[in-house]
A and B are shown apart, each in its own frame.
Chain A
Amino acid sequence: DVKVTQSSRYLVKRTGEKVFLECVQDMDHENMFWYRQDPGLGLRLIYFSYDVKMKEKGDIPEGYSVSREKKERFSLILESASTNQTSMYLCASSFGSGGAQDTGELFFGEGSRLTVL
């Protein structure tokens, strides 16, 4: 089974702190994604990566950056956390490459709930 692991389930940070959210997948997927989930807004894409060292902005990249130095790991960075970044953050991965097994299905981690005070 595909496993997507997010390093922290719950974090509490103070305004202005730097925050790292780590995500690791074990299926050699090419694509990795970071979403945030807020009630009534669904999932909104922050950034995604389709290869090592490659990244593309999603719909709400402001205030975030990402790093993908290895294929299996995708990190989300909040340089200076703010209270409006309190949210649930979901990492996901997918096969990519448009191959036969690629139905576009996303495999999600369990989420990291971040509270910024």
Chain B
Amino acid sequence: GEDVEQSLFLSVREGDSSVINCTYTDSSSTYLYWYKQEPGAGLQLLTYIFSNMDMKQDQRLTVLLNKKDKHLSLRIADTQTGDSAIYFCAESPPYNTDKLIFGTGTRLQVFP
């Protein structure tokens, strides 16, 4: 079956780094995404990485892609309370690039 897997919860102390992991299904997926959902809101794209890249950095965010293991991670440096949210990874499969497949979401809780 098609399952994008994530752990459900992550708790970190303010100022520490957070690492959210995801295992996706298809090593030929074109794009891989990280979305953020704040309480009571829809999802917003945080960042994405094209499949021919290994790493992408954007300010406090670092995305690492291991295509061999079909593993995607999102590292948030200097995590703040405003980073508390649900984080979804998603893949764009090659057979239908318009239909993203989402993971279950990881709820990140940041405590002082």
Contact B104 A106 (CB under 8 A): no
Q: Which residues of chain A come closer than 8 Å to B105, judged between CB atoms?
A: 42-43
Contact A105 B103 (CB under 8 A): no
Q: How far is the CA of A70 from the CA of B62 in the complex (A)?
A: 40
Q: How far is the CA of A76 from the CA of B37 in the complex (A)?
A: 22
Contact A106 B31 (CB under 8 A): no
Q: Which residues of chain B come closer than 8 Å to A50, judged between CB atoms?
A: 98
Contact A104 B31 (CB under 8 A): yes
Contact B45 A105 (CB under 8 A): yes
Q: What is the distance, in angstroms, from A32's C-beta to the closest C-beta of chain B?
A: 10
How many residue-residue contacts, CB under 8 A, span A and B?
55
B24 interface contact, C-beta 8 A: no
Q: Which residue of B lies closest to A112 (CB)?
A: B42
Contact A98 B97 (CB under 8 A): yes
| A108 in contact with B97 given A42-B88, A43-B88, A43-B102 (CB within 8 Å) | no
Give chain B's interface residue range (CB within 8 Å of chain A).
20 to 34
Contact A94 B98 (CB under 8 A): yes
Q: How far is the CA of A43 from the CA of B97 in the complex (A)?
A: 17
Contact A110 B45 (CB under 8 A): no
| A31 in contact with B48 given A4-B42, A40-B104, A106-B43 (CB within 8 Å) | no
Q: Which residues of chain B come closer than 8 Å to A4, judged between CB atoms?
A: 42
A41 interface contact, C-beta 8 A: yes
Q: What is the distance, in angstroms, from A47's C-beta to the closest C-beta of chain B?
A: 11
Q: Which residues of chain B come closer than 8 Å to A31, judged between CB atoms?
A: 98
Q: Which residues of chain A come closer than 8 Å to B99, judged between CB atoms?
A: 45, 48, 58
Q: A interface vs B, CB < 8 Å?
A: 4, 31, 35, 40-43, 45, 48, 50, 58, 90, 92, 94, 96, 98, 103-111
Q: Can you show 6 pairs from A to B with CB atoms below 8 A apart?
A: A43-B102, A45-B99, A58-B99, A104-B92, A106-B43, A110-B42
Q: B interface vs A, CB < 8 Å?
A: 4, 8, 30-31, 33, 35, 40-45, 48, 88, 92, 97-100, 102-105
